[in-house]
């Protein structure tokens, strides 16, 4: 009796997951802001923080979104109050652009160093040709094998 009910519950749950939440949903907008902003006390995202200040900031975000402010306006409010240090990820402009570009530059430089080292190694240690195989007639084991196979046939 419980299996059909469990199956129905599972289908309803999966159906709810399949429906995309509206981008205008204040809860979804609040969660996005929680991930983008960090707590000034513990330096983690608001989503991960449970400090008193973080909880007050979460309440304020929900109030501002409920009052009709856009996520950009709420973000601008916190940026004005706390500066760029409130952002989890630095903005992709100005001096902070370095934080976004340097990992790619580091990977390219590292790949160049590895390529140069491999090229230098290959130049100093050329591939040695494989030794030529002995003709079949000179191998005593092969002659013995061929003789025994002829005797079996």
119 falls within a domain: no
Region 47-56: mean pLDDT is: 91
- Does residue 89 carry a pLDDT above 60? yes
Show the domain range for 51.
20-113
pLDDT at 106: 93
CA distances from 149 to 1, 141, 143, 152 (A): 72, 12, 10, 5
Mean of all residue pLDDT scores within the chain: 82
43 falls within a domain: yes
Of 1-5, 83-87, 97-101, least confident by mean pLDDT is: 1-5
pLDDT band at 118 (very low <50, low <70, confident <90, very high): very high
pLDDT at 10: 65
pLDDT at 102: 87
Among 22, 18, 25, smallest CA distance to 10 is for 18
State how many domains the chain has.
1
Question: Which residue shows structure tokens 């195989």?
Answer: 133
Its pTM surpasses 0.75: no
- Residue 81 sits in a domain whose CATH number is 1.10.8.640
């Amino acid at each position: 009796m419980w299996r059909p009910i469990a199956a129905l519950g599972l289908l309803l749950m999966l159906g709810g997951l399949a429906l995309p939440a509206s981008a205008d949903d204040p809860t979804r907008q609040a969660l996005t802001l929680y991930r983008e902003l960090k707590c000034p006390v513990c330096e983690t995202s608001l989503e991960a923080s449970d400090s008193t200040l973080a909880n007050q900031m979460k309440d304020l975000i929900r109030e501002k979104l409920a009052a009709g402010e856009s996520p950009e306006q709420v973000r601008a409010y916190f940026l004005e109050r706390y500066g760029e240090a409130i952002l989890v990820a630095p903005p992709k402009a100005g001096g902070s652009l370095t934080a976004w570009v340097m990992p790619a530059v580091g990977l390219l430089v590292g790949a160049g160093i590895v390529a140069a080292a491999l090229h230098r190694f290959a130049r100093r240690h050329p591939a040695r040709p494989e030794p030529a195989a002995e003709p079949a007639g000179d191998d005593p084991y092969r002659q013995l094998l061929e003789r025994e196979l002829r005797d079996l046939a």
